[in-house]
Structure 1
Amino acid sequence: MLRHNDPRWETALSPWTLADDIFDQCLTFFRSHYTIVTLDDVKASVAGARPLPPRCLLITFDDGFADNLDYALPLLRKHGVFATVFVSSDVIGRQERLWTEDLLWAFMAGRVRPCELAQLHALLLGRGEHDPDDPKLIWDIVRRGPELHDEQVQAAFSGLDIDLNRITWPRQMLTRDDLAHLVASGVSIGAHGKTHTALTSSSDVATELSHPRAVLNDIVMAHGQSSVDALSVPHGAYTPGIVDRALAAGYELVFTGDAVLSRLKNGFLVSPLVGRLDVDGRRIAPTGDFLPEVLAASLFIAPQRQSGVALRFVRPARRSRFANMAARCNVP
């Protein structure tokens, strides 16, 4: 979530960035049509302790960007509602966002050519020659790259003379103090992996699951949150085996990128596996003007996973002016 005059706006990624004024209008819409619930409410429902109300909605953010504190929190307070922020533990306190996200922006903006991307893929992931026009190359790097060692990554970029023009101010990622402030303000914190590597591609799934719980519990438990026991899988990538491992590791809820409505039976969530619906600024405000009927359609006609009463989980996007380029690059 960003404001148009924020220096981070120019290199923000689509379709995961939403302008703050559009989010303000979304919250007005949500409050008019739904009961906005907390993560604790959802956990109580899946545990069978307390039913959720009809037409309920949970707001979530992924990654741990500082703009969640800068722009989202004031608007949540304005409307008297809460949200959940899922954080990758390795990015806490960083000035820069992940290099894979800077690379994705540079590629979509035409600053990194397809031939350079193919060479970078070979250097980093070592799978021989690739067709530079293969649209899967960029996503393979984005999903597998975060766990690579910094020295290997820097050597590859230097060897290819690629400059990502990374933004370090304003600071990109939440700090420990920021997270404590969010919790004290009623925002729940969840885990989003350790490195932000897709769990289906990770070389160490156990650490990707355990590290964020340990790091985040150390922060949030001193400020009123009982524990970190909800996981958002990075890149929305998971398998049934990964879900089982997450539950065995102590997580009570596993949020995915599946664009489906979760289902309730008599007010109780029937599965700990939760889909989410993106609030995509390209669709609900294509010219900068909020279109509530488009947002309504995306929520009301979303597919349903199981029978029962629908529970909608929405994840505001971080909006950028590179939406059309991103669409051509097959942003999922």
Structure 2
Amino acid sequence: MEIRGQIQGDFVTIVTYHYVRPIKDSLYPDIKGLELQDFYGQIEYIMKYYEVVSMDDLVASINGQQELPDKALLLSFDDGFVDHYEYVFPYLLERGLSGAFYPSVSSITKCQMLDVHKIHFVLASQDNKVLILDKLNQYINDVKEQYELEDIEIYKHQYCKSNRFDSGEVIYIKRMLQYVLPGVLRSEIIDYLFTKFVTKDQVSFAKELYLSENQIRTMIGEGMHFGGHGLNHEWLNHCSRSHQELILTKNKEFLECLGATNNCMTFSYPYGAYNSDTLEMISRYGFDLAFTTKVGLADLNLVDNFEVPRIDTNDLPISFNAELVNWTRQLL
């Protein structure tokens, strides 16, 4: 039976990845990522139904300089994990593919554990998330008067809401530690939880988690694209205009130092968060494209260069022989 396409236009599919590693048998089997073997299977599915393109191809197409093939797809990898060098990069080379990679500056230049990833590993360290939740709420109650905080129940009512990837309890922990609590207190609690549940040695952990500059240069030399992803993986929509200026300045300098801006310069918004200030400045700083976490295919005739949607790895199958999903079917 013929499967008819459901949409019309010049669409490109952009897939987002984060952790790509052998997860099940690792020290942190609960980390939210893609099993390495499933990544291989997903690439097989992608190569069966799509044409993988490079970032240079995509930018040239959006600028009207070339046409993309039908069912074009771009692979994007956020957060600058060493996974991307050890596992993803060799496989892409083997298959003759390219990808776009987005590390946050401080994780590379300072070998600094980012709060977002401390939270990930705290959550992955415990099967029973209530243990983490209890420690977090106890800490909040202990400093409630000092920081003039709300009652725990008020926070829970507002932020304990599940999304398509996490339970309400996990979302509550993430949001409280990502932007709800005052900045100094957030960092204090995150370090307390990371030390209690993961390790005291943040530097060694960071060295094993993130890419090095030499690894990045090697990847760039083999045709991989690198773009910006903030300084410390900030929620840009919660940053002042001046702080956003600093973040974009440091990202541009970082990419220029790596030699990653020869053909184009792109950005992936941490958490997919941005505001009108971000959109104005990112254009002024010379970025060609910026990627969001809005779920969808990018229509090259309509898309805003600085609000490009993506889909998640979880939205596509992980096997060559898998049934078509709607994201694929609507392009056929």
Encode CA deviations 1:36-80: one digit per residue, 9 max, x unaligned: 111111111122222212110000000111110000011101211
The amino acid across from 1:194 in the alignment is L
CA distance in 2, matches of 1:220, 1:11: 36
| Matches of 1:217 and 1:126, distance apart in 2 | 43
Please state how far the C-alpha of 1:141 moved relative to its aligned partner. 4.0
Q: For residues 136-181 of structure 1, give each alpha carbon's deviation from its aligned partner in whole angstroms, at most 9, with x where no partner exists.
A: 5423245339x956x98358745x8961314745710011111101
Asked whether the equivalents of residues 230 and 248 of structure 2 are also in contact (C-alpha less than 8 Å), the reply is: yes
* Equivalent pair of 1:120/1:156 in contact (CA under 8 Å): no
Identical positions, percent: 20
Equivalent in the alignment of 1:129: 151
DSSP 3-state at the match of 1:191: coil
Structure 2 letter corresponding to 1:31 = M
- What is the aligned counterpart of 2:230 among 183, 193, 207? 193
CA distance in 1, matches of 2:46, 2:87: 18
Instruction: Compute the RMSD of aligned alpha carbons.
Output: 3.5
> Counterpart in 2 of 1:306?
none
Which residue, 101, 119, 128 being the options, matches 1:103? Answer: 119
Query: Partner of 1:61: helix, strand, or coil?
Result: strand
Give the Cα separation in 1 of the matches to 2:112 and 2:326.
33
Structure 2 equivalent of residue 275 of structure 1: 309
Q: Under a length normalisation based on structure 2, what TM-score does the superposition of the two structures give?
A: 0.74
Residue of 196, 201, 207 corresponding to 1:163:
196
Q: Give distance in 1, aligned partners of 2:53 and 2:177.
A: 32
Higher mean displacement: 184-193 or 209-218: 209-218
Q: Is the contact between residue 96 and residue 171 of structure 1 (CA under 8 Å) also seen in structure 2?
A: no
- Structure 1 residues 115 and 235: alpha-carbon distance in aligned structure 2, compared to 1, 3 A threshold: same
Question: What runs of 5+ residues in structure 1 fail to find an aligned partner?
Answer: 303-309, 311-332
Structure 1 or 2: more helix by fraction? 2
Rounded Cα–Cα distance in structure 2 between residues aligned with 1:11 and 1:207: 36
Distance 1:205 1:12, change over 3 A: farther
Count of paired positions: 287
- Aligned partner of 1:257 in structure 2 is 293
> Per the alignment, do residues 248 and 280 of structure 1 end up closer, same or farther by CA in structure 2, a change over 3 Å counting?
same
State the shift of 1:234 in Å.
Answer: 0.4
Give the alignment of 1:167-246 within 5 angstroms: 168=204, 171-203=208-240, 204-221=243-260, 225-226=261-262, 229-246=265-282
Distance change in 2, residues 1:95/1:238 (3 Å): closer
Query: CA 1:218/1:115 → structure 2, altered by over 3 Å: closer, same or farther?
Result: same
Match of 1:13 in 2: 31
Q: Tell me which structure has the larger Cα radius of gyration.
A: 2
The equivalent of 2:63 in structure 1 is 47
